[in-house]
Amino acid sequence: MLSKGQVLGGLSAAQGGTQLFRIDVPVNARNLQIRTLGGSGQVKMYVRATRAPSADGSDADASSVRAGTTQNMQTALPVSDSYFIRLVGGTGGYRNISLTTTYSTY
């Protein structure tokens, strides 16, 4: 499970390989941001509240699938829940990327 402000580094997966993470967002949270950066290759990021998104992202609440390893998902008013983050290796997979999550509270 991820914590607010935590950075997980050294993440890697082959093409089609997946990694699943979770962050619990409290009632008073605002501006949830989940992002990947650094490393090399191609990563896709799928995010879903309550349950894990599928590997193809078809049931994700949000996704970021642009080219490269920098992916970003933001929501100004997240629901108080567990958010599941699935990283999927795109063409050629990804190597040594970092995942970070943050939100503000009032």
Tokens at residue 28, please? 């008073």
Q: Is residue 29 part of a domain?
A: yes
Q: Is residue 43 part of a domain?
A: yes
Q: Is residue 10 part of a domain?
A: no
Q: Is residue 2 part of a domain?
A: no
Q: Return d(Cα 97, Cα 50) in angstroms, integer.
A: 25
Quick one: pLDDT at residue 106? Answer: 86
Q: Is residue 73 part of a domain?
A: yes
Q: Is residue 39 part of a domain?
A: yes
Tokens at residue 105, please? 């509270």
The total number of structural domains that make up the chain: 1
Q: Is residue 74 part of a domain?
A: yes
Q: Is residue 101 part of a domain?
A: no
- Using alpha carbons, list the distances in angstroms from residue 45 to 4, 7, 67, 99, 100: 18, 16, 11, 10, 12
Q: Return d(Cα 28, Cα 14) in angstroms, integer.
A: 37
Q: Are 34 and 46 in contact (CB under 8 A)?
A: no
pLDDT (tens, 9 = 90+) of the chain, 106 residues, equals: 999 999 999 999 999 999 999 999 999 999 999 999 999 999 999 999 999 999 999 999 999 999 999 999 999 999 999 999 999 999 999 999 999 999 999 8
The alpha carbon of 55 is separated from its chain's Cα centroid by a whole number of angstroms, namely 13
Domain, as residue range, for 36:
16-94
Q: Is the pTM of this model over 0.75?
A: yes
